[in-house]
Amino acid sequence: MPNKFYITTPIYYVNAGPHLGHTYTTVAADVLARMHRLLGEKTFFLTGTDEHGAKIQEIAEKAGLPPKEFTDNIAGQFKEAWEKLNISNDRFIRTTEEEHMAAVSKALQYMYERGDVYKGSYEGLYCKGCEQFKSENDLVDGLCTDHKTKPEVMQEESYMFKLSAYADKLRDLIERDELKILPDSRKNEILSFYKNEGLKDISFSRKNVAWGIPVPWDRSHTIYVWADAFLNYLTGIGWDGTSNQPPEFWPADVQLMSKDILRVHATIWPAMLLSLGLPLPKTLFVHGFFLIDGQKMSKSIGNVISPDQLIKRYGVDATRYLLMSATPFGNDGDVNWKQFDDKYNADLANGLGNLVQRVATLIENTYKKERFDYNLGLIPEETITRLNKAEEKGVREYIKDFEPHNALGIIWELIGEANLFINIHKPWELAKNDTDAFIRNMNILLAIIHKIAWLLQPFMPTTAKDIFTMFGDKGERDIPDGHHFVINKKEGGLFPRLETQK
C-alpha cells in the first residue's frame, strides 16, 4: 500500500493500571500517528493489553478474582485513560480476544509443523516480572535488574522454539538496517548482544501456567506469553494466523517501546516472523525510560504517577505537552511534579496561553465585534520564509527523524518570537496613534499564531482547535487571503496559571 503508515505501542501488562511510562509511549505514538495523518498518509495506530501468563494469573489469584474478570477491569482502565488523553488509536487489542487467540494457535501450529517448534525441556532461570528467561549475565547480585527479585529456577518439559537457527540471518538484517533499530546506540547494544551471547533456543510453552492459550497439539501446555503477545501486532490489523498472508498494513513502519523490552523485540519477535515467512517491521524505535525523582516508579515506594493525576492537575493537552517535552525522544528522563509545574507555568501559561490571549484582546479591544480581515500582502517576505522553515523542520524533518521534542522546540521558538514582537512593537500604543502599523502587526501575529496552532495539532489537538476557534480561523493549512477573523476568546484563557506547588 503506497503512503501507508503503521505504528504500534507495546501491549501493556494488566497487572496494574496505566502509569506515566505507558502514557509516554502511547502519547508519543499518537503524536506520530496524527502527524502522518496530517500529511495525508493512510495511517493505522495500534495499542492494547497483554493479558495472559504467570504474572497476571498470580495477581488475579491474590485479588481473589477469576483472571478474566481481573483483566477486564484493568484493560478497561487503560482504554479509559487513552480515551481521556485523546489518543487516536484505530484499534485497542486485548490478547484475550477470541480472534487473537485463534490466530496465535494457528501460527504456533504452523511453526510446529515446519519444525521450528519441537518438544524438549527447559532448565534455567525465569523472572516472572519480565516473563522472561534469564542467564547469569543478565543478573546483578543474583537479582533481575528490572524487578530486583531473584528469578525462580525452572525445570520442565517444554515446547522449544528454534531461535538459534535465526541468529545469523537476524544479525545480518539488523546490521544492514533491514530491521532498523533506532537510536544507533540501541542498535549497537543489540549487535553486541548477538556477538557476545548469541541466541539459544527458548521455551515456547508452559506446563504449569493455566492462564494462556492452549498449545493446539498438546493442550496440557499453554503458549509462552511473549509468543502470544508479539502476534498482536499482526492480529490487531486483521491477521487470522494464516502464514504468508500479511494484512495490508504489514509490515509496521514503526514499533515504539522502551529499552526494557528491546532485546525480545530484536530477537524472538523477528525470528517468529522469519519462521512464519512474513516481512520484518521496518523500524524499532526505542525511547528513554522515565524515573521519578531519580527513582524507578514502584508501588512500594509510592511514587507511581498515573495519567489521571496528570490530567487532573494540568488538563489533557498540557499533560501531552509536558510528557513530550520532558526529554529528547530516545533519552532517559527524570521527572517530578515541581518540574512539571514550572514548565506548565513557563511554557503554557506564560508562553503560549499569554500570546494568544494578548493578541485576541488587542484585536477585540480595537475592533470590538467588527471583523478583522487577513491581508496576506501585509506579511513581510521574511516572516513567510521563517514560517515555512518552521513547518519544514517542525513537521518533516523532526517527525520523520523521530525528534518530536525538537518539533516542539521549533513551535516554542515561534511563540517566543511572537511575544518578543509584541513587546518591541507595543501594538496597544499603535492602536491609538498608527492604525496602519497596528493592522500590519496584527496580520503578522495572526499568521504566526496560525502556524503555531497548525503545527501543534498532533501534540495538542484540542488546544490547536481552541486557538482556531478563538480567532475564527478555519484551521486550513494556510490562511486564505481576505479571511475574516472573528474573535471569540476562551473564558479563563487556555492555560490558567498554577499557583501552588506540590
Catalytic residues: 19, 22, 127, 130, 144, 147, 296, 299
Strands 117-127 and 214-215: unpaired
- Name the minimum Å distance from CB 159 to ligand MSP: 19
Scanning 159-167, 252-260, 338-346, 426-434 for contacts with ligand MSP by CB under 6 A, the matching segment is 252-260
Backbone angles phi, psi at 270, to 5 degrees: -65, -30
One symbol per residue from 90 to 119: x for binding ligand MSP (CB under 6 A), - otherwise; what is it?
A: ------------------------------
Q: Cα dihedral angle (406, 22, 47, 158), rounded to 10 degrees?
A: 130
- Find out whether the peptide bond into 279 is cis, omega within 30 degrees of 0: no
Judged by CB under 6 A, does residue 307 bind ligand MSP?
Answer: no
Nearest CB to ligand MSP, comparing residues 159 and 329: 329
Extract the C-alpha cell encoding 416. Answer: 517566543
7 three-state secondary structure: strand
Judged by CB under 6 A, does residue 439 bind ligand MSP?
Answer: no
Farthest-apart Cα atoms in the chain, separation = 89
Nearest CB to ligand MSP, comparing residues 52 and 450: 52
In 3D space, the residue among 140, 162, 158, 136 whose CA is nearest the CA of residue 149 turns out to be: 140
Judged by CB under 6 A, does residue 258 bind ligand MSP?
Answer: yes
- Name which of residues 32 to 91 contact ligand MSP (CB under 6 A): 50
In 3D space, the residue among 435, 439, 437, 454 whose CA is nearest the CA of residue 485 turns out to be: 439
Nearest CB to ligand MSP, comparing residues 162 and 287: 287
Judged by CB under 6 A, does residue 250 bind ligand MSP?
Answer: no
- Name which of residues 130 to 149 contact ligand MSP (CB under 6 A): none
Question: Can you list the pairs that 153-156 forms with residues at least 24 positions away whose Cβ atoms lie under 8 Å?
Answer: 153/123, 153/124, 153/125, 153/126, 154/122, 154/123, 154/124, 154/125, 154/126, 154/203, 155/121, 155/122, 155/123, 156/121, 156/122, 156/206, 156/207, 156/208
Q: Which of 12, 159, 344, 398 binds ligand MSP (CB under 6 A)?
A: 12
Per DSSP, helices labelled H in 154-204 are 167-175, 184-196
Judged by CB under 6 A, does residue 16 bind ligand MSP?
Answer: no
Extract the C-alpha cell encoding 442. Answer: 496584527
- Name the minimum Å distance from CB 410 to ligand MSP: 24
Scanning 19-27, 81-89, 149-157, 192-200 for contacts with ligand MSP by CB under 6 A, the matching segment is 19-27
71 three-state secondary structure: helix
- Name the minimum Å distance from CB 26 to ligand MSP: 8
Q: Which of 78, 289, 454, 459 binds ligand MSP (CB under 6 A)?
A: 289
Q: Which of 261, 276, 324, 408 binds ligand MSP (CB under 6 A)?
A: 261
Q: Which of 6, 7, 17, 25 binds ligand MSP (CB under 6 A)?
A: 25
Judged by CB under 6 A, does residue 340 bind ligand MSP?
Answer: no
One symbol per residue from 200 to 239: x for binding ligand MSP (CB under 6 A), - otherwise; what is it?
A: -----------------------------xx---------
Q: Which of 17, 21, 246, 330 binds ligand MSP (CB under 6 A)?
A: 21
Judged by CB under 6 A, does residue 329 bind ligand MSP?
Answer: no
Nearest CB to ligand MSP, comparing residues 271 and 395: 271
CA 214 to CA 11: how far, in whole Å?
A: 20
**Sequence-distant (≥ 6) Cβ neighbours of residue 325 within 8 angstroms:** 343, 347, 405, 408
Q: Which of 5, 10, 55, 75 binds ligand MSP (CB under 6 A)?
A: 10
- Find out whether the peptide bond into 480 is cis, omega within 30 degrees of 0: no
Judged by CB under 6 A, does residue 486 bind ligand MSP?
Answer: no
The answer to whether 50 touches 236, Cβ cutoff 8 Å, is no
In angstroms, how far is CA 454 from the centroid of its own chain?
21
Residue with the closest Cβ to ligand MSP?
21
Place of cell 501543534: 456
The residues binding ligand MSP (CB under 6 A) are 10-13, 21-22, 24-25, 50, 229-230, 257-258, 260-261, 289-290, 297
